Structure 1
């Protein structure tokens, strides 16, 4: 463990942390809009920090810890923003992403997440410690940081591979397509199968593992292999408008139209019931976390506290809380124009923010930030806020849905940052860091990321489109969570939604929950998290297939490297660390290239500005071959790279 006199919050550490936070926030924003998932960034940031600071003359373990602490805000703020704020564009309230409003929602919401999580540190990390698996893993990486060279090489190789494949795909030179799809008819059965050719999705699958990979692809199979064919055969005749619209379409076009208009709402219902269940199942832990947090806050006042146990002063936290809440009150007032509504909106936001930061922190402590169901928390917030606002504004209010999204957006940013903050504080606790310095660094990283979110979103929207496909953007970024939030809020305020499909989806969610509880009672290793299944039901099948393949690759690598069902979490993380770094490199390289490609597209106003002549456009077969090469490189790097010493 490092001494408290070891340099921590140095200028170079802060500068590097902010740079990495901004880069990783942009990459995670692209990934989240594309696939509905973000990844934790602490470990890649720690490896990069150790390499960079070594070039600058060597860095201390606590400097590297500060860098990964601030940089991890890149994933949490990106998740909070892309899960909610695009809903305001999808609802038609905004035509683009307004800089000052995005900054206020993301920046102030994220800073509230930091403040709300401070009193939880003592109860969840010191007095009644939770596992915090990613915090432990980051601490082990920091302690083993004498030789970051191999990890940096893996990151660089994977980043280059991800970037090259992205520039070769449809949004770049169009050498290969984005998808390899096979569809057709077997009698009256509408068949559909395919895969996206994205290396980033392989990386996501490797990180989330085989269990989650099986669950998400099973959800998509339920939609595409069962629900869509059943609807086409038995129920399309009762929807003459949809039937007329797809009468002359191909099998793929018909399948996608039915999915867009009807079947994806099964996922909405599943997510709704999953969000409610998440809160219900955590009711005891929630109350325990809130009580212990308040007790820790009272206990922390006065007395001599060791440097390694010193949080941000409570007095300054309360001042900051008021300072951060007042601009949000004014923002809500600008939306509704009624103090009798904007003040309750602010109160709902504060109460829900603190409660759900506690939930998020508890879940992050149990299952990790990457598996933290922040979207379920946000759905619950929007449902509760909508119910209150319906009483105040009426169900026909034109701004009710927007007001509910605004509350949910702030709470989502706070919950995402809060859960991530506790992971970082766990790592710091293990290596002997000063908590208040980490909390300050996370605040700096959070606000730095918020500064760039609106330009990144506007760039991606202009280049690729966000939400439902259009003639201008036929392969738009799906933004699944934001589309879901918009649907829920709109449905609560008089919007037209296929409630029958949502109800069936809720029933499916209830069955999944019951099955998962049965597995839990049998202490089964395999589990069926309802929100993961909902994502699979809601998203196109081709996005879920490479995630499953990445999870399968992770399983194979683990078996080849000696992991068994009884291996503990530390051993699993250590064995998979080279693969995790390769996965992070694939994701970051592809995402950053996607953002880079967006610049010439927006400037030229041509989606094909980088496209080579048509004779160089190869088919899906070559695309599959490219993906196979990526899988081979992934396997070789994960299987053969030296495993860090325990």
Structure 2
């Protein structure tokens, strides 16, 4: 976006008023927020990456609002503002709270405490960024790429703007965008239903092979998921390639080396007598050995994520100071100017209300931490300290997240890195206050995860809020109304996220096998696994450091490479967390992500000769197709998980349920169909 674009007047002038918060906008915002929260929870737990939902939310709201006789572009903007909050809040929760189940603090996803964490963290995330709006959007004029892109989508929607005119002469644009989203979602849902629901398609293809008399062990896999192709398309080739590189390091390189140097120890861990001849191992035993070797190597990813999280905080020191200064500057300006005479398009929620919200939040925060600390003797004092930590860290990291959203966008915002740093620092603080013996060894890590969940939710919502406010600034929305709708979206998502997590845990298992359906492939939940390892390890449970030290070294190499690329002005960078997540995940998940990134690169490379209008249409279509594949598969995944929880754990036992080897072939064909659909639908949009 150029500086002239930033200075352009809003689409709807300040002296004009259109409907913004209406009954239908409230209802649609809550419903879409809940739907997108469910979808993002599934995909985030599966692959450890989340993507911005603003554009699919805008397309969905445009399509639905056209069913009514009259709707306005600002009303549409309010719907997408609430809806996109669901995606962001889900990210904040899934990166942290599953750690409580993994460490057996919870037997399941407790509804009351989880809703409280999501609500308080999300609302504080909105409140903390209200003072930043003018400083970062109006004065600093940061890019906020998703906010600008969402505004462009809404402008082409044929929705009423001013004096009953439309934003575009193309009145069918909204219908086309909605159809693209729905058709892609239908394809993703169909493939997921045929795979997990009916068992006709294989979900993955994997193999283990020993060479050189068993001295060289190789394993590989590919997940046959259209949603992961969509994820790769949205994050782009740079991130997709790095995730794939992490998978190669962890599986193609790490597993053979681990087996070569630690074979006897691996066999023991796998429950196999290390004295057995390698020639006598059968296929199941080789699979067990390969799986154990890979589980060890995953800790390299844990080490890299630890360094990546701390490095994110160090590298954000300047933006942190800038963000805090901007917030204080905005506060002083609001006191001098006041609300009298402020144009409608510049009218934020009054700062006094923000202060009241922060003050009132101390009560539920204190009660949340009091609940987390159980019957710990000094729990009142510790809960008070943690309440202060949440308000201080929450404001700082929300400021950073809002600032970084303007620089790199919400999808690339290092929220998980910020949360990793929070876990480390807060655990070290509590360790000094509580010690590591007796009840402290158990309750300390639990309190840390509660704090991490609150801060991660606040930071995720902060970035999303700033993107939505940028979109509103371009369109001419009223800021305080958008901030209210963001809270509405937080409420809608917070009420359903615990139910979705419980369903997914029963159907697949989150970070470990499902207690009800142990035969299912668990969702990886990489960040939550790391949070659990860090919190319990710092409090004395112990961390196996050998592979983690390797991760430290790898992260340092990646940081050096990234700084070299930065000094060269290169667009291709080496963010540590992308590689670290790739190491932690099974290789098979990173392959379709890489394919999606390649499609995005190829489409972008061949769109340079298109006219600007064609290029934008192609870009929007590609994002909607990818978002549809993700949303359709994710929502069907939740449905299938619910069916599994009700006893349908092996499909519906239809005549074709067991297709044997054909299911793998059909699964590959289905993935190829999704790849072709993403490519052809996107490319053809630029040819029209």
TM norm. shorter chain > 0.5 = yes
Which position in structure 2 is the counterpart of 1:358?
399
Instruction: Quickly say closer, same or farther: Cα 1:240–1:255, change in 2 above 3 A.
Output: closer
CA separation in 1, counterparts of 2:518 and 2:443? 28
2:292 is matched with which residue: 257, 269, 275?
257
Within 5 Å, give how 1:114-193 maps onto structure 2: 114-146=126-158, 147-169=173-195, 171-187=196-212, 188-193=215-220
Aligned-partner SS, 1:81: helix
Q: Which structure: larger Rg?
A: 2
TM-score (normalizing by structure 2): 0.90
CA separation in 2, counterparts of 1:612 and 1:278? 53
CA separation in 1, counterparts of 2:220 and 2:417? 29
Q: Could you tell me whether the CA contact under 8 Å between 2:270 and 2:288 is conserved in 1?
A: no
Greater shift in the superposed pair: 146-155 or 531-540 = 146-155
Q: Could you tell me whether the CA contact under 8 Å between 1:172 and 1:611 is conserved in 2?
A: no
Q: Could you tell me whether the CA contact under 8 Å between 1:600 and 1:609 is conserved in 2?
A: no
Shift of 1:61: 1.1
Which position in structure 2 is the counterpart of 1:71?
83
Which position in structure 2 is the counterpart of 1:279?
313
Shift of 1:589: 0.5
Shift of 1:255: 2.0
Which position in structure 2 is the counterpart of 1:547?
593
Greater shift in the superposed pair: 329-338 or 611-620 = 611-620
CA separation in 2, counterparts of 1:386 and 1:111? 24
Aligned-partner SS, 1:526: coil
Which position in structure 2 is the counterpart of 1:333?
370
Q: Could you tell me whether the CA contact under 8 Å between 2:614 and 2:685 is conserved in 1?
A: no
Q: Establish whether residue 466 from structure 1 lines up as the match of residue 510 from structure 2.
A: yes
Aligned-partner SS, 1:641: helix
Instruction: Quickly say closer, same or farther: Cα 1:228–1:573, change in 2 above 3 A.
Output: farther
Q: Deviations over 1:371-398 (max 9, x none)?
A: 1111111011111110000001112321
Instruction: Quickly say closer, same or farther: Cα 1:133–1:355, change in 2 above 3 A.
Output: same
Within 5 Å, give how 1:121-520 maps onto structure 2: 121-146=133-158, 147-169=173-195, 171-187=196-212, 188-238=215-265, 241-242=268-269, 244-245=271-272, 248=281, 249-260=284-295, 262-301=296-335, 302=338, 303-336=340-373, 337=376, 338-396=379-437, 397=440, 398-469=442-513, 472-520=518-566
Q: Could you tell me whether the CA contact under 8 Å between 1:236 and 1:243 is conserved in 2?
A: no
Name segments (4+ residues, structure 1) moved above 6 Å.
none
Aligned-partner SS, 2:206: strand
Which position in structure 2 is the counterpart of 1:521?
567
CA separation in 1, counterparts of 2:210 and 2:265? 21
Greater shift in the superposed pair: 601-610 or 243-252 = 243-252
Q: Could you tell me whether the CA contact under 8 Å between 2:240 and 2:597 is conserved in 1?
A: yes
1:601 is matched with which residue: 623, 634, 644?
644
CA separation in 2, counterparts of 1:420 and 1:17? 15
Aligned-partner SS, 1:2: coil
For structure 2, the 5+ residue unaligned runs are 1-10, 159-172, 275-280
Instruction: Quickly say closer, same or farther: Cα 1:42–1:612, change in 2 above 3 A.
Output: farther
Instruction: Quickly say closer, same or farther: Cα 1:157–1:562, change in 2 above 3 A.
Output: same
Instruction: Quickly say closer, same or farther: Cα 1:612–1:217, change in 2 above 3 A.
Output: farther
Shift of 1:298: 2.0
Q: Could you tell me whether the CA contact under 8 Å between 1:577 and 1:643 is conserved in 2?
A: no
Q: Could you tell me whether the CA contact under 8 Å between 2:303 and 2:547 is conserved in 1?
A: yes
Shift of 1:572: 6.8
Aligned-partner SS, 1:497: coil
Which position in structure 2 is the counterpart of 1:585?
628
Which position in structure 2 is the counterpart of 1:629?
673
Q: Could you tell me whether the CA contact under 8 Å between 1:560 and 1:639 is conserved in 2?
A: no
Shift of 1:575: 3.4
Instruction: Quickly say closer, same or farther: Cα 1:552–1:391, change in 2 above 3 A.
Output: same
Shift of 1:317: 1.5
CA separation in 1, counterparts of 2:483 and 2:273? 54
CA separation in 2, counterparts of 1:343 and 1:257? 43
Q: Could you tell me whether the CA contact under 8 Å between 2:259 and 2:266 is conserved in 1?
A: no
Q: Establish whether residue 38 from structure 1 lines up as the match of residue 50 from structure 2.
A: yes
Q: Deviations over 1:130-172 (max 9, x none)?
A: 1000001011111111221221121111111101110111x31
Which position in structure 2 is the counterpart of 1:535?
581
